[in-house]
Amino acid sequence: MTKEESQFYAGAIWAASTIYRMHTDAVVAKDFLREINDLDAAAKCGAEYDVLPLRLFVMRDLPLGHDADYEAISFGPVDRHGNIICDHSQIAITDITGQQAYGVYARRAGESNLTLIDNLDDEEEAEPLAKVLAEQLQQIKEGRYDI
């Protein structure tokens, strides 16, 4: 991909994200994204700041933006407000009453967990999505994230 194509795609992702952030219209943002020929490549060209709301509210299978700087990605049950209750590895020792669904989240140094995908039906739906994003994060850290 040329630098110009990469910049074009980054601009398209920025525009879709801006549409969503300004108007919270997931339908319009999704229609806009569907017009992008290679959406996965476009999302990888975009900043994670722009991709995150699109992944969270519009299209849950979007990849990480090129500059995602999370420490780790995992999944677990979420409460009715979309907040992660605990990591999936802690379910056996954690009271998860009030759990409504599952979510995929990222950890950042010194910050609370950041939800990347929510409203997933169960662990079986959350685990593969978390695994894909964790693999992408590892590629970003190693400088081999294919755009």
> What is the predicted pLDDT for the residue at 85?
64
Indicate the average pLDDT of the chain.
89
Query: Which of 46-50, 72-76, 142-146 is modeled with the greatest confidence?
Result: 46-50
Q: Of all residues in the chain, what percent carry a pLDDT higher than 90? A: 67
> What is the predicted pLDDT for the residue at 27?
94
Average pLDDT over residues 77-91: 70
What is the widest separation between alpha-carbon atoms in the chain?
51
* Cut 0.85: pTM above it: yes
Q: Domain limits of the chain?
A: 3-57, 72-141
Q: Is residue 25 within 8 Å of residue 46, measured between CB atoms?
A: no
> What is the predicted pLDDT for the residue at 109?
82
β-sheet bridge partners, residue 75: 104
What tens digit of pLDDT does each residue of 91-115 get?
A: 655 556 656 788 899 988 887 788 9
